[in-house]
Amino acid sequence: MNPEAQTKRLPVFKTIRDSFLFPWERKKRFLRAHSIHILVFSILLALILYFSNLKNNIEGDDSTLVLSLSSDSTLIFSISIAALITGFGFYILFVITCHRLVLMEESAVPRNGMIKWTKREGGFFLWLIAFGLFYMFLGFFEMVYALAFSGFVTGILDEFFNYKSEINLIPYAGLLILPAFLYMTARVCPIFPATAIDKKVNMTWAWNLSEGNGWRLALVLGVAPLILELIVKGIDSFSEISSIPYIGLIVYLPALYFLTVIEIVALSLSYKHLVEFNVPEPSEVE
C-alpha cells in the first residue's frame, strides 16, 4: 500500500451496529421516502400472484408444461416481462434513495424518495449490468474449478486408496472459492454509493478505496444476507405446520425490506468511512 493511500481500518462491529440503528432512528423518514417504491412493489407482487394463478388455470397444475401460445398466456407473459422491468427500475430508485438518505443532506432526497430516472439511475443500471457480467465470469470460473477439484480428489482417492467415492464433491469445491468471490465483490461494491450521490467513479477507484479493508467489508455486508437466510429457513419450517395462506410472504416481505435497507445502509456507512479516512473523494458529475 503506498504512503499517500494509508487506510484506517473499517470498524466492523460499529458499522454493523450503526447499519441497524441508523434506519431505525429515522424509520419514519425511510418509510416515507420508500412509500411509493413499496406501493409499486406491492402492486407488482399482486399482479404476479394473480397472473400466476391464471396461468395455472390455463395450463393445468402440471408445472412442467411449456407456456401455451394461446392469446391469454401470451398476454400473461407480456405483463410478466413488463412487471419485471418496472420492478427492476423501481428497485434501482429504491437503492439510490437509501444511499442518499445516509450520505447526503435531507433536502437532497424528495419527501417520497427518488421516483424519476436521470443519468444517475442510468449509470447505476450500467454498473449493475457490469456486475452481472462479472458474476457470470466468476460463476463460469467457479464451475470449471469445482469440476477440476472434484475430478482431482476423486482420482486421488481411486488411484492411491482404491476408494470409489459416491459423494458429489462439486458443491464443496464451490464453497472453497466462495470467500474469494465475497472478497472481490466487497472490494468493488463502493462504486454503488458513490454513483448514487453523483460521483464519477470506476472499478480502479473502488478497488483502491477498499484496499486493506476487503475482508472487513465482506463481513459487514454479509450480516444482512445471513440473517435473511436464517429467516427463510425458519419460514420454510413454520409454513409446513401452518395453514395460514401466504404465511411465508407475510413474514418474508417485511423482513426482506428491512434487511435490504440495512444492507444498503451498511454499504453507505462503509463508503463514508473509507472516503473520509483514505483516498480523496471522486469528482462530482458535471
Instruction: Express each pLDDT in 228-249 by its tens digit.
Output: 777 777 766 666 555 555 666 7
Q: Is the pLDDT of residue 257 over 80?
A: yes
Least confident of 12-26, 135-149, 173-187: 135-149
Query: DSSP readout, 22-87?
Result: HHHHTHHHHHHHTHHHHHHHHHHHHHHHHHHHHHHHHH-S-TTSPPP-SHHHHHHHHHHHHHHHHH
Q: Is the pLDDT of residue 285 over 60?
A: no
* Predicted local distance difference test score (pLDDT) of residue 141: 72
- Would you say 224 and 240 are in contact if contact means Cβ atoms under 8 Å apart? no
* Predicted local distance difference test score (pLDDT) of residue 173: 61
Question: Rounded to an integer, what is the distance from CA 190 to the centroid of its chain?
Answer: 13
**Mean pLDDT in residue range 34-42:** 91
In the chain, domain spans: 11-277
Q: Is the pLDDT of residue 255 over 80?
A: yes
CA neighbor of 211 nearest in space, from 14, 9, 13: 9
* Predicted local distance difference test score (pLDDT) of residue 167: 57
* Predicted local distance difference test score (pLDDT) of residue 26: 92
Give every CB contact of residue 137 below 8 A, 6+ residues apart in sequence: none
**Mean pLDDT in residue range 172-190:** 78
274 vs 141 pLDDT, higher one? 274
- Would you say 85 and 114 are in contact if contact means Cβ atoms under 8 Å apart? no
